[in-house]
Amino acid sequence: MIFVNLGLGILFISLGFIVTEANAGTLLSGYNTMSKDDQAKFPLKEYLGKFRQFHLYFGISFVAIGTLIGLFWKNDLLYYHMGITPIIAYLYFFITTNHLNKSSSPSSKVQTKIGAAVLIATLIFVIVLFVWSERRSNLQVYEDQISITGPYGLTIPFSEMDSIVLHEKIPVIRIRLHGISTNRVSKGKFKGAGQNRYHLLLDKPYKRAVIIYRSKDIPVIISLDQVQEEELYITLKEKIAAL
């Protein structure tokens, strides 16, 4: 993940130099939607100077902070850094350069307020998502089904279980389609080799996993801290055999 952090930092630095006065009308968000009159009033040269300075300093700081986190703290903090820090940084830049937009028309000022609101809403959403993803998953076996609560939990009736497998290793997982994947958990829907798809409910590290193949949906792979996988496997085999 440190290399991903480095790549993002280089991208942030590059953004500061990609946008120029010549292409701002196309690439610079906000400016490219202004009317010709508003663009003529806007101090583009001054703004681009601050734009480049911000991206240079932010890119370097982003890499430095991420590297320190990756070397001396838990890797999960690195995920939070990469998800939250850019939003906070761009919100700060947005606020500190807003005074340059004073000569714009009322419609442009409305767009500015909407942009700030979107950044704030995105920041809140990302923080809530991270907090939600830290919730513990719990599995309960009932008379006719199992129920897993927590992030990306689900209920599986025994009647929909085609087969149960206990594996030391899970199938190859290539892409996260919809879910969360950190150094501690992988939960949600993922794509494996070929067209195979799986619903993962994994707490890491794991030694073995129960795979439930279902008649009406994709397989579910379970390895949770509070679950004894071998006991779950035996219980589910007995439940299916009793149907």
- Verify cis geometry, omega within 30 degrees of 0, for the bond prior to 86: no
The burial class, CB within 10 Å (0-12 / 13-18 / 19+), for 194 is exposed
Q: At 30, is the secondary structure helix, strand, or coil?
A: coil
Q: What is the pTM of this model?
A: 0.65
**Alpha-carbon distance 48 to 64, whole Å?**
24
Residue 84, CA atoms < 13 Å, CB-side half-sphere: 15
What is the residue-level pLDDT of the chain in tens, covering all 243 positions? 677 888 889 999 999 899 898 898 888 887 887 778 878 888 889 999 999 999 999 999 999 998 888 777 766 678 788 888 999 999 899 888 887 776 555 665 666 667 777 878 888 888 887 777 778 899 999 999 999 999 999 999 999 999 999 998 888 898 989 888 877 789 999 999 888 999 999 998 888 999 999 998 999 999 998 899 999 999 999 999 888
Strand order in the sheet with 145-149: 138-141, 145-149, 154-157
β-partners of residue 221 are 200, 211
Q: What pLDDT does 75 receive?
A: 63
Among 176, 206, 174, residue whose Cα is nearest residue 192 = 174
**Alpha-carbon distance 99 to 45, whole Å?**
14
Q: What pLDDT does 110 receive?
A: 64
**Alpha-carbon distance 33 to 26, whole Å?**
9
Q: What pLDDT does 130 receive?
A: 76
Q: Which residues contact 8 (CB under 8 A, 6 or more apart)?
A: 62, 66, 82, 86
Strand ranges (E), 26-160: 138-141, 145-149, 154-157
Q: Which residues contact 125 (CB under 8 A, 6 or more apart)?
A: none
Q: What pLDDT does 112 receive?
A: 67
Q: What pLDDT does 35 receive?
A: 79
Q: How far is CA 20 from CA 34, 35, 40, 199, 200, in A?
A: 16, 18, 16, 45, 45
